[in-house]
Amino acid sequence: MPEPLLEVRDLKKHFRVKGARLWNAPGSVKAVDGISFTVNRGETLGLVGESGCGKTTTSKLVLAAERPTAGIIAFEGRDIAALPDGQLRDYRRKVQVVFQDPFSSLSPRMRVGEIIAEPLQAHETLSRQELQSRVSELFELVGLRPDMARLFPHEFSGGQRQRLAIARALSTNAQLIVLDEPVSALDVSIRAHIIVLLENLQERLGVSYLFIAHDLAAVSHLSQRTAVMYLGKLVEVADSLELCTKPLHPYTKALFAASLPSHPDEAREEIVLSGEVPSALNPPRGCHFHPRCPFAMPRCREDEPALKEISPGHTVACHLY
């Protein structure tokens, strides 16, 4: 089996916080608490979870915008978590990101042609000619006309801006693009455009995606495999379609139950979770999900379940299995 493009092992990110009360020892927010996953070449891994689950922090770690507290982030076999800042240039070229908000991810006072060329200029020295032709190429790749390069971001619509953000991410021939909720801020009819574009680009260029979102349907549409996060831990990883049809972890089931039907008569197993998402400052002991789990057993309060492979490619962290 070819080596995975990105392999994350036992990744942890803890933030120190001062104690809320004078007599408490300083605690830490375990935003990411020991997760492991791989992204293969040309493939999309979806990462779903609700607010506070740690997916944003995971994306920052993968982008080297934050340093992990522990764990390995191996890209093309080399652990970048161990590299000092100065040696990350190559990594930064190969791993790019598209953010959620199409309105704030483009610098308002720069022409879009310059915005797209910026990563390229930072990493390579090209003549003006070469730069321009590369920019035109990128424009066409995402379905925009190259003569729009002289316009400013505010002259484009939300969907077009996301295209520009994608073009910029592709400018340095990145091999992994982290997509952080790329379509949630777009109109419904435009989302399909972007999803289709991303699919096409993956087919044409063989680029891999780490697709982070809370919209299960979009994630499972675009990803070959999907991972579910809860309070800093991975609770289930499986092939996307299998995850939809045979979710194993109670939380995954609840997520699917909660995602809205596509037509009025669609049968859904109604699992309504009680309570709120607990804070990552003080996660429950044992399995983090047990206070809200409709199937909790006494064991769940004591032992933290580990990820176990139940069927080929399908792993789950739950005492039920």
Closest-CA residue to 244 (of 219, 210, 266) = 219
Rule CB under 8 A: say whether 44 interacts with other proteins.
Answer: no
User: Alpha-carbon distance 204 to 228, whole Å?
Assistant: 28
Cβ distance 89 to 122 under 8 Å? no
Write out the DSSP string of 85-98: GGGGHHHHHHEEEE
CA dihedral 243, 63, 198, 136 (to 10 degrees): -170
Binders of other proteins among residues 192 to 211 (CB under 8 A) are: 192-193, 195-196
Binders of other proteins among residues 210 to 229 (CB under 8 A) are: 214-218, 220-222
Nearest distance in Å: CB 72, other proteins: 20
Structure tokens given for 151? 């316009």
Nearest distance in Å: CB 176, other proteins: 13
User: Alpha-carbon distance 202 to 51, whole Å?
Assistant: 28
Interface residue with other proteins, options 70, 83, 110, 205 (CB under 8 A):
110
Cβ distance 216 to 48 under 8 Å? yes
Nearest distance in Å: CB 314, other proteins: 16
Nearest distance in Å: CB 272, other proteins: 6
User: Alpha-carbon distance 69 to 15, whole Å?
Assistant: 9
Binders of other proteins among residues 235 to 274 (CB under 8 A) are: 241, 244-245, 254-266, 272-273
Binders of other proteins among residues 3 to 42 (CB under 8 A) are: none
Binding map of other proteins across residues 276-295, x = CB under 8 A, - = no contact = xx------------------
Nearest distance in Å: CB 287, other proteins: 17
Terminal Cα distance for the chain, rounded: 28
Binders of other proteins among residues 88 to 107 (CB under 8 A) are: 88-89, 92-93, 96-97, 99, 101, 104-107
Rule CB under 8 A: say whether 155 interacts with other proteins.
Answer: yes
Q: Name the residue nearer to other proteins (CB basis): 201 or 222.
A: 222
Total interface residues for other proteins by CB under 8 A: 73
Phi, psi of 316 (to 5 degrees): -145, 145
